[in-house]
Structures are given as C-alpha cells and as structure tokens.
Amino acid sequence: MTSAQVEIQLIAVVVSVGCALPGVFLVLRRLAMASDAITHSVLLGIVVAFFVVRDLSSPALVAGAALTGLVTVWLIELLRRTGLVREDAAIGLVFPALFSIGVILVSRYAGSVHLDIDVVLLGDVAFAPFDRFVLFGWDWGPAALVKMTAILLLNAVLIGAFWKELKVASFDPGLAYALGFSPALVHYGLMGLVSVTAVGAFDAVGSILVVALMVGPPVTAYLLTDRLGTMVGLAAAMGATGGIAGYWLAYWLDASIAGSIAAVIGLQFAAALFLAPGRGLVALWRRRARQRVRFAETMLAIHLLTHEGRPEAAVESRLDHLRELLRWDEPFADRIVRSAVRGRLVTAGAGGLELTDRGRELAAEAIAES
C-alpha cells in the first residue's frame, strides 16, 4: 500500500466513525430524514460562506454551513408549527428550496467560483491526500483528515459529556423535560453537531452519502443490541470497517469510493437484517418453524391422551384418521410423527400411535396451562 492509499483509508474511517456517532441519536430520535434535509441545504451555507471568505478550506465555511443546517431545522419546525403542513411535508418543502437556491447561486457565478456541485453532492476522497494541512512549517497530513479528526473528537467529547442528557432525552423526552433539561437545547445541539459533521464530511463523501454514513451503521447496530453504549460502539465499528471495505471495493471496481462505502454499509445492514442472532429474519423463521412443529406435536399428544384407554382409541390413534381430524397434509403429518417419535413423545406401532410417559406429561401440562 502506498502512503496515499493508507491516508485515504484513514480518512474513510475517520469520516465514517465521525458520522456514525451523532447518527445513533438521529436514528433513536426518529430524525433520520432530517439529516437528509440538513446535508442538502448545507450546500447553500457552503456557497454563501464561500462568497464571503473565498476559501474552500476555511473554518468559517464550516461555521456558516453549520448555521444553515440549524436554520433548516428551525424552518421545518416553523412550518410544522403553523399546523398547515405535516412534518414529513415540511421537510420535503424546506430542503429542496434551500438546495435549489444553492445550486442556482453556484451556476450563476460558476465563472468566478471554484466550486463544483458534483463535488459537493458526490464528494471525491481519491484526491484528498494531495491537499495537505501545513502549520508551523510542519505537514500534519491531508487537510480532510485533520479536519474530520477534529470533528470526530468534537463529536466524541460532546456526546461523552452530555451522554446522560442525550440518553434520557432520546428515550423519554417527558422525563427529560421533568428533570429540567431543555428539549429544544438538546435538539438544536444535536442538529448543530449533525450540521458541522455534514459540512466536514461533504468534500470527502458528498452530501447525499453523508446520509448513508450517518444512518446506516447506527441502524445496523440498532438491529443487534438493546443497549445504547453497545449501539454506539457497534455503529462506530460498522462505520470503520465499512470505510475500509468500501475503499477496497472501489479500488477493485475502479469506481467511486464514497458510493462503495455506502454500498458496503447497505450490505452490512442486509447481513444484520437476516443473520442477527435472536432477532434476525433467519432466526425468526427458524423459531417460527420450530414453534409450528412443537405446537403440532402437542396437539397430537393431547388428542391421543383424550382417547387413551377408551374404546375408540384404536381408531383415533390411526395416522390417516388423525390427518383428517387435524387437517394435516401427508408430508406435514409424517414430519410431525417422525419428530414426535424422535422426541420420545409417542411410539409408532402396527396398531397406531401410542403415547409414552413423556408424551402424556406434555399433553397434561398443555391442558393444565390452557
């Protein structure tokens, strides 16, 4: 690996983890689409701030753009409060408007501005290592890496410092209010973090894929755990591995790095969706199938117990009669009987099925329970 490759992967990891941290709270607070709104409208902030400072790497750009993010959130809230449009429509009204104004500004002054919408929207981390951050005559690394590391640290420190507040406000807003935290302050604080992170990440991965990095790893982690701390850790880990795997996928395909990271994040989610222990779809299907067999076996045992020792027992314990009575088709009935025999609930003889002691116990228990 060349040093540029190492640096690109470092940037990918730092950006992914930096986005995943505030993303956890976006997902828990059902604000995922607000991040989509913020990342789009931040373009306007970047453009306006750029007109003022004329420097794409200036910190003023981050501040200005972050402010636009907050303005977006505030406008959505303002629209919603009128009661004339619902929240989802409010989001859908605000961000396209701000984004469009941004695009128009860029196109109008394209000649005098070295700012490409493609780059803002899609990002390009491949050339990031050439833009160095030099301070005091010392090369600290790629500018994007330095900037995003600072934002990652900011996110980690703030989320760590306000952990309790964020946790309570996310899971029980009523309690948070009763305890005296201002819900507005928590909300706008988090949105401010999301805005700053979106601005920091946009030139590496573009504003649309920031959404993938913010929402994807936390959602995957959400499928795997019930604990907030574990969820944050898992989300960060997912983000980091997604960043590295995405880089190599892009390298192999000779395609967009940001897009590949998003695709890997999608694969991670799909894997968790199907394979998550305990609540993944595969586990769910297997549990359902097991329960179905278990239920059928119990039905069989109850039926045999009811007629055991009575004159009709000989007829009632015949398999074809049972099938008709319980409305089982042949393969299912065979499966259940085989499984019941294997489980030593019944024995199959020439005269039909006969309960074992264990089978009687099961049936009696089931009847007592119901």
Q: How far apart are CA 25 and CA 98, in angstroms?
A: 25
Q: How far apart are CA 317 and CA 326, in angstroms?
A: 12
CB of 120 to other proteins, least distance (A): 11
Q: Is 108 or 344 the residue whose CB approaches other proteins more closely?
A: 108
CB of 46 to other proteins, least distance (A): 15
Query: Alpha helix locations (H) across the chain?
Result: 3-28, 32-53, 59-81, 87-108, 117-122, 143-161, 163-171, 173-179, 183-205, 207-224, 228-253, 257-275, 281-307, 313-316, 319-326, 330-342, 357-369
Q: How far apart are CA 265 and CA 228, in angstroms?
A: 20
Under the binding rule (CB under 8 A), the answer on residue 273 touching other proteins is yes
Under the binding rule (CB under 8 A), the answer on residue 32 touching other proteins is yes
Q: Is 91 or 362 the residue whose CB approaches other proteins more closely?
A: 91
Question: Which residues inside 106-165 make contact with other proteins, applying CB under 8 A?
Answer: 107-108, 110, 117-118, 121-122
The answer to whether 239 and 217 are in contact (CB under 8 A) is yes
Under the binding rule (CB under 8 A), the answer on residue 365 touching other proteins is no
Nearest 5°: the CA angle 254, 260, 263 is 145
Choosing from 88, 312, 320, 334, the residue that interacts with other proteins (CB under 8 A) is 88
One DSSP character per residue, 112-125 reads T----HHHHHH---
CB of 289 to other proteins, least distance (A): 16
Q: How far apart are CA 16 and CA 150, in angstroms?
A: 13
CB of 154 to other proteins, least distance (A): 23
# chain residues binding other proteins, by CB under 8 A: 64
Choosing from 186, 209, 333, 336, the residue that interacts with other proteins (CB under 8 A) is 209
Q: How far apart are CA 201 and CA 119, in angstroms?
A: 12
Q: Binding segment for other proteins among 64-72, 186-194, 204-212, 342-350 (CB under 8 A)? A: 204-212
CB of 257 to other proteins, least distance (A): 9
Nearest to 339 by CA among 303, 370, 285, 300: 300
CB of 255 to other proteins, least distance (A): 4
CB of 338 to other proteins, least distance (A): 31
Q: How far apart are CA 208 and CA 200, in angstroms?
A: 13
Q: Binding segment for other proteins among 57-65, 176-184, 257-265, 361-369 (CB under 8 A)? A: 257-265
Under the binding rule (CB under 8 A), the answer on residue 313 touching other proteins is no
Backbone angles phi, psi at 132, to 5 degrees: -90, 155
Choosing from 12, 115, 223, 238, the residue that interacts with other proteins (CB under 8 A) is 223
Choosing from 196, 249, 336, 340, the residue that interacts with other proteins (CB under 8 A) is 249
Under the binding rule (CB under 8 A), the answer on residue 299 touching other proteins is no
Q: Which long-range contacts (CB under 8 A, 24 or more apart) does 275-279 make?
A: 276/223, 276/224, 279/223
Choosing from 251, 266, 354, 356, the residue that interacts with other proteins (CB under 8 A) is 266
Binding interface with other proteins (CB under 8 A): 26-27, 30-36, 40, 79, 82, 84-86, 88-89, 91-93, 96-97, 99-101, 103-104, 107-108, 110, 117-118, 121-122, 208-209, 211-212, 214-216, 218-219, 222-223, 249-250, 253-256, 258-263, 265-266, 269, 273, 279, 281, 284
